[in-house]
Amino acid sequence: MASDPTILPFPPSTRNTVLQLLRDAWDFAHRHRVDVREFAVELAELQAAGISTVDLRALLLGGLIERAREVTRSNDTVRRFRKVRSLQLHQRDSFVLTEEGRRVLSRKSNGRASKRTDSAARRRTPNHRRTMRPTWDADLRELRLGSIVLKRFTRTASAQELLLAALQEEHWKPVIDDPLPVRPGADAKRRLRETVKSLNKSQNPRRIQFSVTGDGTKVAWQVVDQNDSTRSR
């Protein structure tokens, strides 16, 4: 007997986080009229949200998600992907909702139980866009959102890179403590402000807003729409 693809295999808490990530990626791509794969969610990010490889394979077999494997070469000017048909997973795999997956989510969101869950999720996370977590690739020195490269460092920027590395290590918590090392005689709060200011510069497109909080001792971030980022400049 074929399994019902609308019956999702993993616990509600994990399901809500994983599907919110995928749904946000879909919404962002269509809002900005780009290929949905440009905002594909990477395997590591889904696993960090709590989904197992068994659950991922179940969603693939149910036709609710599809994946692509990055095959970008060093001389490519844009990121390139190819479809993968086997169920063997690889760290270069990224995932997006299918049309069927989007329809299933839409039907579920109309149900009473889903409304209660969505309401609770909104209370826990006032800005739903935070569920889309960036990625810092220290080897390529790239800051990404999904598959979009927001910023690529071509010159030494040790403070910015150290801050991004700390966020990556903390799995992009909404707020982290100042990770910059203490320098005798230096104004730590001013240094953090300048580092955050530099991080907000030269993003193309600008999708992440970094800020200093906690009396100047913590760093916060959020994903913003293009219009929001334009107004905040």
Cα separation, 104 vs 82, whole angstroms: 25
Residue labelled with tokens 């994946």: 67
Of 76, 64, 77, which is closest to residue 26 (Cα–Cα)? Answer: 64
96 shares a domain with 56: yes
98 shares a domain with 39: yes
118 shares a domain with 16: yes
16 shares a domain with 121: yes
User: Number of structural domains, the chain?
Assistant: 2
93 shares a domain with 17: yes
Among 82, 105, 128, the domain-final residue is: 128
218 shares a domain with 138: yes
Percent of the chain scored above 70 by pLDDT?
Answer: 76
How much is the pLDDT for 185?
A: 86
Whether residue 2 lies inside any domain: the answer is: no
Band of pLDDT at residue 28, cut at 50, 70 and 90 = confident
Cα separation, 205 vs 185, whole angstroms: 36
Over the stretch 197-211, which tens digit does the pLDDT of each residue have? 999 998 988 899 999
Phi and psi at residue 231, to the nearest 5°: -70, -30
Across residues 134-151, what is the average pLDDT?
Answer: 91
156 shares a domain with 122: no
117 shares a domain with 73: yes
121 vs 185, higher pLDDT: 185
CA atoms within 13 A on the CB side of 105: 23
160 shares a domain with 122: no
The DSSP output letter for 9 is -
Whether residue 7 lies inside any domain: the answer is: no
189 vs 46, higher pLDDT: 189
206 lies in which domain range?
A: 133-232
63 shares a domain with 31: yes
| Residue 205, preceding peptide bond in cis (omega within 30° of 0) | yes
- At 214 the three-state DSSP class reads coil
Whether residue 4 lies inside any domain: the answer is: no
Across residues 203-226, what is the average pLDDT?
Answer: 88
19 shares a domain with 75: yes
Q: What is the DSSP string of 83-142?
A: E--SS---TTEEEEE-HHHHHHHHHHHTSHHHHHHHHHHHHH-SSGGGGS-EEEETTTTE
Among 128, 155, 185, the domain-final residue is: 128
Cβ contacts of residue 162 below 8 Å, gap of 6+? 179, 180, 181
Whether residue 50 lies inside any domain: the answer is: yes
169 shares a domain with 147: yes
Of 172, 163, 207, 137, which is closest to residue 49 (Cα–Cα)? Answer: 172
How much is the pLDDT for 119?
A: 52
